[in-house]
Every structure is written in C-alpha cells, then in structure tokens.
Structure 1
Amino acid sequence: MASSIEAARARVAEEVKVDLLAETQELDNEKFAAEISRSFISDTITAPTKDMYTYAVRASLGDDVYHEPCTKALEAHMAKLTGKEAAMFVPSGTMSNQLALRAHLRQPPYAVLCDHRAHINRYEAGGTAFHSGAHLQCVIPANGHHLTVEDVRENVVLGSDIHSAPTEVIALENTLNGTIIPQEDVVAISEFARKEGIKMHLDGARIWHVAAETGTSLKDLLEPFDSVSMCFSKGLGAPIGSCLVGSKGFVTRARWLRKLFGGGMRQTGFMAASAAYALSHHFQLLPAVHQLTQRLEEGLKEIGAEITSSAETCMVFYDPSPVGVTYAEIAERASKLASPLKVGGSRLVVHIQTSPAAVEDFLIIVRELAEEKRKAGFVPSERKATPNGHITRDIYVRSGVSARA
C-alpha cells in the first residue's frame, strides 16, 4: 500500500514539473533586448539589465503583507523624496491610481474631474466607476495642452444641486502624453481645490521626466497634491511596480484597500530592489531620452510631417499625411528592415534603451517614403498650424499596434 502511494506521489510530482527556459534562452534574451532598442511602442517594454538583476537577487526575503525590509526601506525613501508622510509599493500604476481614488472617495454621490485624455479615463478599464462608483467629469483643455484653473472652475461641480455629482477629487496627470503641466498652473488648481475642500491626486507615472527636464525637486512638484502615483516600470525601466504616496492616514486606508483589491504581495524584496536600482542608476539617463525624442521631432519636421504634439519629454506625436505617407506604410517598411523597427501610429515613445540608430533608421524610412510619393506626383500640402505645437487629437491613430500606456 505504502509503495503504491509513493508511486502515485512520484507521478504527480512529474506532472507538476515545468521548465520555462528554452535551450537558447540566453541568446533569446539578447535578441529581445535588441528588439526593445528598436521599438517606439511604449516605455513599458524596457527590460531589466544584468546589473539590476544582480542587485535585486541580494534583496531581503520578507513578506510584504507582514514586513518586508527592502520594501519598507523603499517606501520610507519615497515618502522622504516626495515630502509626504507615507508610501506604499503596489504592482501597477493602474492599481495605484484606483486605490488612491477609492481611498479619497468615502460616500457617494461624488465625481472625479480629469483631463479627457487621462489614463484613469481612457486606459484603466472603467476602474473608477467599478471600484469607486464615481462619475468622471472629463474636461477638454481650452489651450489644447493642459488643464488650467479656468478649465477647472468652468467644469467643477460644487454646491448641493441634486441633479449633479459633486466634484470630490481633481486628478491631474504629469506628464500627459509626454507633455509637462506648468507648475504654476498645478499650484493654481491646487489652491482652488483646497479652498473648495476638494482633494488633489496626481497620476505621476512619468513625473520623473518632469523632474529630469525641469530640474525641479520631486518634493516641490508634488507639494500641491494629497496623493501621487509614481511608476517605476515606465521611464525608469524597473520590471514591475509603482508607489503611492500621501498622508499616513491615507496610506493606511489605501493599504487596507490594496488587500481588498488582491494586491497584497509577499516576497517583494527583489521588486523593491529593482526599483531602487532604477532610481539610483536610470533617472540620470532621462535627459538623453528627451534629446533623442527631440531629434525625432526635428527630423520629422525637416521631412515635412506635421508635429501634433511636441517632444517635451519622451514622446512625440506626428502626422505624415502632409507628405503623402500613411502610418501603415511606415509600419510595413519598418518591419521589413534587416533589423526591424516596431512602430504604432501617431505616437512615438523613446525610452532609456532606445538606440540612436533606431531613431535615424526611422527617419530614413519616412524620408524615403516621402521622396517616393513626391516622385510619383504627390504635392506636399502645407502643414496645418496647431497652437504651440499642442496635441489636436485625443485618440492615437494606430496601425495594428496598441499605443495606450
């Protein structure tokens, strides 16, 4: 009997075994890293470096629901860095935003005011409605670039009119589509919000780019906000994670909600260590990213494409139709290079692992296509003027590739 049980256990043990690594895994990873360097789809595709992994595997082994030393140390650093009382590590920026809104919103009816292009509105699967039962008051900026206090005053819901959901939170995003909100406008909105008893939340997934570009401290940038979500896995290149910062009471409530959402994690030390490595070694790479993005914009302008949103940080939006070229033609030509480029539609994203050669190869493709169209008889049109180079579209034009995050 005992021998039959042992045999059965051995069979089950064989059934559960799995080997995820290919025989060529190391070569595959090198190939993937090369592909990342030639992709303009998003900065979420960055991969951990060997040095980051080396640092991460030395991390502590605690359980974050109870106590995880490296994670606690990261949270303490983030609180100090941002000038807030407390911080909490979470798996994703979407969870961080949704936890923040849920923690702020106590008793309906209530609403959250945001830019109509905001991530919480377009790319979080309706989470604000699902998790918080809140209405989103989506505003189109009058200047085409960023929300101002005038936009907020015109759209905020105050008072006790029972036909409307009162505004309880104003949620800004900085950067938004790679563009920077001027700090004086952030401060003006915050002063209005505090006067009216409205909470301020920032989706600061790419706030690192603002600090790197302007030289403004994180503490100063975030002082106007009650809560801020900050992502480690986009511009900074960590493999996973975001941080939510705010007051002690706010973070305590958000931590409880994190457990409710299923976001309480266990051995997070290696994740926190990866984020710490990114903060220490990758933040200083961002100015070079911005310069490379500006090179993209300059090259596209020289060719005759229309720039619909300027390269303020890591993104540039463009329209090649003035030279007779389509996004689909660019994507097809890019995919046929000996070392292919991956592009979507109107949005080009540069990241810390983007190759300068990839930028030049992309511009060569657009230039060659434009020249082919000209020789075929296409007459370039005048580029449509856009105010201050601000984005005129609220949806990314795609060519079979998603361009959301």
Structure 2
Amino acid sequence: MTANMDAVRAQIAEEVKVDLSSLLEPDDNMKGFQEVSRSFISDTITAPTPDMYAYAAKASIGDAVYHEPTTLAFEAHMAKITGKEDALFLPSGTMSNQIALRTHLKQPPYAVLCDHRSHIVRYEAGGTAFHSGAHSQMVVPSNGHHLTVADIEENIVLGTDLHRHVALFAYDEIIRISEYAHSVGVKMHLDGARIWHVAAETGISVKDLCAPFDSVSLCLSKGLGAPIGSCLVGTKEFVAKARWFRKLFGGGMRQTGFMTAAAAYALTHNFPRLPAVHALTRKLEAGLREIGIDILGPVETCMVFFDPSPVGVTYAEIIERARALPEPIKLGGSRLVVHIQTSPKAVEDLLSVIRQLAEEKKAAGFVKPETPLTNGRSHKNMLFLY
C-alpha cells in the first residue's frame, strides 16, 4: 500500500511540475529591455532591473497578513513623506482608488464628483457604482484644463460625501477647492498616479501635495518603475477600515516584502531620474512642433498628445512605419509617454520617422492647412487621458 501510494504521489508530482525558465533564452531579457526603451505606450511597461531585483531579494520574508517587517517599514515611510498618519500597500492603483472610495462612502446612496477624464470613470470598469453604490458625477472643466472651485460650486450636490479628481493642475486651485470642500463637509481623495512627476517638476514636496486631501493613492509602478503596487494614505482610522476592505476585495497578500523593497528601491534610485524624463519629453515635443505636428495640450511632465494631420500624416502610418524599423518602436496613437527607460535614440528615431513621412506627403503635393486640424477632437478631452 505504501509503495503504491508513493508511486501515485510521484505521478502527481510529475504532473504538476513546470519549468518556466526554459521559455527564455539567456539574452531574452536584455532584448526585453531594448523593447521597453523604444516603447511610448505607457510608463507601466518599465522593467525591474537586476539591481532592483538584488535589493528586493534582501527583504524580510514574513507574511503581510500577519505583519511583515519590510512592508510595515515601507508603509511607515510612505505615511511620513506624505504627511499622513498611516499607509496601506495595495496591489494596484485601481484597487487603491476603489478601496478609498468605499472607505469614505459609508453607505449608499452617494455621489462622487470628478473630472470627466478621471481614471475611476474611464478605466476602472464601473467600480465606483459596483463596489460603493455611488454615482459618478462627471464635470468638464470650464477652462478646458483643470477643475476650479467655481466648477465644484456649480456642480456639487451638498450631502455628497466625496469629491475626487485626477489631473495635474495649479496647486493654489487645489487649496481653494480643498478649503471649499471641507467647509461643506465633503471628503477629498486624490488619485496620485503620477504625483512623483508633479513633485519632481514643481519642487513642491510630496507632503504638501498630499496635504489638501483626506486620502491619496500613490502609484509605485507608473513613473517610478516598481514592478507592482500602490500605497493608500490617510488617517489611522481611515487606513484601518481600508485594510479591512482590502481583505474583502481579496487584496490581502502574503510575502510582500520583496514587492515593497522593490518600491523602496524605485523611490530611492528612480525618483531622481524624473527631471531627465521631463527634459526628454520636452525634446520630443519640440521636435514634433518643428516638423509641424499639432500638440494637443501643454506638455507638463512625461506625456505628449499630438495630432499629425496638419502635415498630412495619420497615426496608422506612423505606427506602421515605426514598427517596420530595424529596431521597432511601439506606439499607441495620439499619446506618447516617456519614462525612465526611454532611450534618447528612440526619441530621435521616432522624430525621424515622422519627419520622413511629412516630407513624403509634401513631395506628393500635400499642402499644410492654415488652421491646424484636430479631426474633430476637443483639446480638453486629450490632455490627461490615462
């Protein structure tokens, strides 16, 4: 019986084993870094470096549900630099936003007042209604760029328990909105997906940027290049309730030390690189303008929204030509995102592709119109799409 059971167990062990290392050739990851350096799709595609992995391997190995030392230390650091009482590490920015909303909104019916371009409206699968039973009241900024306190006053329905907004806009306007919202008992949550870019560009500390808000979600994979994670910060009472909702949402993870260690590495080593990212983005913008491309909004940090139609070129033509290069460039349409692993050569190559296409169109008889075309798109709809 024992011998037979040993044979059965050995058979099961044979069935379940898998070797994923055989999927990769020795230089495949190096090729992957090359592809990332020539992709303008998003800053979420940045890859962990060997140095980041080596640092992450030094993390403690405890279970985060039962208090894991590295994760606890990282959460304490995030609370400190944001000026909040406590912090909670979460798998994703979407979960961080949705748990923040559910924690603030005690019981439906409620509404969330937000910019019509905000991530929770466009890219979180209707989670606000599903998880919180809350209606999203979307507002189009009257100035075409960012919400103002006048926009809030005009659209707010008093009794709402949360105002939420995602965009980069004037800090003094945030202060005015915060003062008004809190004067009427409204909570403020910030989807700070790229708050690190704002701090690096404006010189305003992360603590001061977070101060007007009751809670903030800070993404660690966008911009900073960590492989996973976001941090939700707020009061101790708020985070304690959010931690309970994290369990309810299925976000209670186990050995998270290597994740938070990778995020700590990103904060220490990658945050200082963001000014160079912004400079490279401005170089890309300047090159596009020189060619005659229409820039669809202010280039403030790491994104360029553009329209090539003034020189007779389409997005599809650019994507196809860039993909056909000996070293392909990956594009996704009207948004170009520069990140910490973007190669300056990729920027030059992309500009060369677009410049060549524009010259071909001109040689074929295309005449640039006096008024730049936008293909019917409103500039204000293009500025901050995620």
TM-score (norm 2): 0.97
Q: Say if 2:141 is the partner of 1:154.
A: no
- Indicate how the Cα distance of structure 1 residues 273 and 25 shifts in structure 2: closer, same or farther if over 3 A, else same: farther
How high is the sequence identity, in percent, across the aligned residues?
67
Matched letter for residue 103 of structure 1: T
Asked if structure 1 preserves the Cα contact closer than 8 Å seen for 2:309 and 2:373, the reply is no
Q: Say if 2:13 is the partner of 1:26.
A: no
In the alignment, the residues of structure 2 paired with residue 52 and residue 198 of structure 1 have an alpha-carbon distance, to the nearest angstrom, of: 40
Matched letter for residue 183 of structure 2: K
Counterpart for residue 96 of structure 2 = 96
- Indicate how the Cα distance of structure 1 residues 313 and 98 shifts in structure 2: closer, same or farther if over 3 A, else same: same
In the alignment, the residues of structure 1 paired with residue 378 and residue 349 of structure 2 have an alpha-carbon distance, to the nearest angstrom, of: 25
Offset at 1:376? 0.4
CA RMSD of aligned residues (A): 1.6
1:330-341 alignment runs, 5 A limit? 330-341=318-329
Counterpart for residue 169 of structure 1 = 162
Counterpart for residue 270 of structure 2 = 282
In the alignment, the residues of structure 2 paired with residue 80 and residue 25 of structure 1 have an alpha-carbon distance, to the nearest angstrom, of: 43
Asked if structure 2 preserves the Cα contact closer than 8 Å seen for 1:112 and 1:167, the reply is yes
Q: Say if 2:379 is the partner of 1:392.
A: yes
1:287-298 alignment runs, 5 A limit? 287-298=275-286
Offset at 1:309? 1.8
Residues 85-143 of structure 1 deviation map (CA, whole Å, 9 limit, x = unaligned): 00000000000000000000012221000100000100001010100010001000011
Counterpart for residue 219 of structure 2 = 231
Matched letter for residue 328 of structure 1: A
Offset at 1:395? 6.1
Between 82-91 and 106-115, the greater mean CA deviation after superposition: 106-115
In the alignment, the residues of structure 1 paired with residue 378 and residue 241 of structure 2 have an alpha-carbon distance, to the nearest angstrom, of: 37
Structure 1 spans left out of the alignment, 5+ residues: 159-165, 397-402
In the alignment, the residues of structure 2 paired with residue 154 and residue 95 of structure 1 have an alpha-carbon distance, to the nearest angstrom, of: 30
Counterpart for residue 161 of structure 1 = none
1:174-185 alignment runs, 5 A limit? 176=167, 180-185=168-173
Counterpart for residue 55 of structure 1 = 55
1:116-155 alignment runs, 5 A limit? 116-155=116-155
Asked if structure 2 preserves the Cα contact closer than 8 Å seen for 1:86 and 1:251, the reply is yes
In the alignment, the residues of structure 1 paired with residue 373 and residue 74 of structure 2 have an alpha-carbon distance, to the nearest angstrom, of: 46
Counterpart for residue 240 of structure 2 = 252
SS at match of 2:296: strand
- Indicate how the Cα distance of structure 1 residues 70 and 371 shifts in structure 2: closer, same or farther if over 3 A, else same: same
Between 264-273 and 305-314, the greater mean CA deviation after superposition: 305-314
Structure 2 spans left out of the alignment, 5+ residues: none
Residues 11-50 of structure 1 deviation map (CA, whole Å, 9 limit, x = unaligned): 0000000011136443110001100000000000000011
TM-score (norm 1): 0.92
Q: Say if 2:41 is the partner of 1:41.
A: yes
Offset at 1:382? 2.8
Residues 326-347 of structure 1 deviation map (CA, whole Å, 9 limit, x = unaligned): 0000000000000000001100
In the alignment, the residues of structure 2 paired with residue 85 and residue 385 of structure 1 have an alpha-carbon distance, to the nearest angstrom, of: 49
Offset at 1:259? 0.1
- Indicate how the Cα distance of structure 1 residues 358 and 186 shifts in structure 2: closer, same or farther if over 3 A, else same: same
In the alignment, the residues of structure 1 paired with residue 179 and residue 23 of structure 2 have an alpha-carbon distance, to the nearest angstrom, of: 59
Report the number of matched residues.
384
SS at match of 2:190: strand
Asked if structure 2 preserves the Cα contact closer than 8 Å seen for 1:297 and 1:310, the reply is no
Asked if structure 2 preserves the Cα contact closer than 8 Å seen for 1:123 and 1:404, the reply is no
Asked if structure 1 preserves the Cα contact closer than 8 Å seen for 2:144 and 2:380, the reply is no
Asked if structure 1 preserves the Cα contact closer than 8 Å seen for 2:62 and 2:257, the reply is yes
Asked if structure 2 preserves the Cα contact closer than 8 Å seen for 1:169 and 1:200, the reply is yes
Counterpart for residue 262 of structure 1 = 250
In the alignment, the residues of structure 1 paired with residue 275 and residue 291 of structure 2 have an alpha-carbon distance, to the nearest angstrom, of: 25
In the alignment, the residues of structure 1 paired with residue 190 and residue 378 of structure 2 have an alpha-carbon distance, to the nearest angstrom, of: 21
- Indicate how the Cα distance of structure 1 residues 361 and 254 shifts in structure 2: closer, same or farther if over 3 A, else same: same
Matched letter for residue 172 of structure 1: H
Counterpart for residue 400 of structure 1 = none
Q: Say if 2:355 is the partner of 1:367.
A: yes
Matched letter for residue 224 of structure 2: L
Asked if structure 2 preserves the Cα contact closer than 8 Å seen for 1:91 and 1:240, the reply is yes
Q: Say if 2:313 is the partner of 1:321.
A: no
SS at match of 2:66: coil
Offset at 1:383? 4.4
Asked if structure 1 preserves the Cα contact closer than 8 Å seen for 2:221 and 2:228, the reply is yes
1:201-220 alignment runs, 5 A limit? 201-220=189-208
In the alignment, the residues of structure 1 paired with residue 153 and residue 19 of structure 2 have an alpha-carbon distance, to the nearest angstrom, of: 58
- Indicate how the Cα distance of structure 1 residues 62 and 321 shifts in structure 2: closer, same or farther if over 3 A, else same: same
SS at match of 1:338: coil
Matched letter for residue 334 of structure 1: A
In the alignment, the residues of structure 1 paired with residue 177 and residue 243 of structure 2 have an alpha-carbon distance, to the nearest angstrom, of: 28
In the alignment, the residues of structure 2 paired with residue 383 and residue 364 of structure 1 have an alpha-carbon distance, to the nearest angstrom, of: 24
Asked if structure 1 preserves the Cα contact closer than 8 Å seen for 2:293 and 2:310, the reply is yes
Q: Say if 2:229 is the partner of 1:241.
A: yes
In the alignment, the residues of structure 2 paired with residue 40 and residue 85 of structure 1 have an alpha-carbon distance, to the nearest angstrom, of: 37
Counterpart for residue 85 of structure 1 = 85
